[in-house]
Amino acid sequence: MSIDKGKDIAERVPPGQKLTDGFPVLHYGDVPYYRDMSQWDFRVFGLVEEELTVPYKEFMALPRQEFRNDIHCVTTWSKLDNTWEGVAVSTIMDRVKLKPEAKFVMLHAEHGWSTNLPLEDFLKETSFFGIKHNGELLTPEHGYPVRMVVPHLYFWKSAKWLRGIEFMAKDKPGFWERNGYHMYGDPWKEQRYDWD
């Protein structure tokens, strides 16, 4: 979770990436602006014994932790030393029982946007549901009210406006993966747009 302070900055930047101090906004489609959070819920479904629906107020009342990480966008910018407040994946997973066939996850965002990743990567202690970035609530552009954060993969796996998690037996491409992005997206292996 914490960044190894002894590590050289150069060693923290994956091949082909450049550092930025800004926080670029990248996504497909329109930013959702919510008027009424009573319509918002967070669904956990697919290969679970019992589906879980968490309403907005309940999600916001879940225990939060601090996270610190580096993020790497496939379009070649990296942003180091982000601090976040978010809900640990285990906090949600403690409330559902997975079926043994569950091996992959589809993250579902507003407007039908999605992205896929292996269960193991989703469950990593460094993955979390982000609510604040560098001390401030996420702006609408960056994913308010909740975004996934999976810092060890390219940042497109970090779904903004997250509304649901689906557990699956087999891997299936999400939105960008259907459009040529890599199924896994390891920045250290430069798994950008092609399958390799």
Ligand X SMILES: Nc1nc2c(c(=O)[nH]1)N[C@H]1C(S)=C(S)[C@@H](COP(=O)(O)O)O[C@H]1N2
Q: Is 26 in the site for Mo ion (CB under 5 A)?
A: yes
153 touches which of ligand X, Mo ion, none (CB within 5 to 8 A by kind)? none
Choose the binding region for Mo ion from 14-22, 24-32, 77-85, 130-138 (rule: CB under 5 A): 24-32
What mask of x and - would describe binding to ligand X in positions 103 to 132, judged by CB under 6 A? ------x---x-------------------
Phi then psi dihedrals of residue 54, to 5 deg: -110, 115
Q: Do 44 and 52 meet the contact criterion of CB atoms below 8 Å apart?
A: yes
Q: Do 123 and 103 meet the contact criterion of CB atoms below 8 Å apart?
A: no
Q: Is 175 in the site for Mo ion (CB under 5 A)?
A: no
Tokens standing for residue 90: 């285990």
CB of 132 to ligand X, least distance (A): 13
Q: Is 25 in the site for Mo ion (CB under 5 A)?
A: no
Rounded alpha-carbon distances, angstroms, from residue 76 to 16, 176, 191, 192? 6, 16, 12, 10
- Give the Cα separation of 148 and 107 in Å (integer): 8
Site residues (vs ligand X, CB under 6 A): 23-28, 73, 109, 113, 142-143, 155-156, 158-161
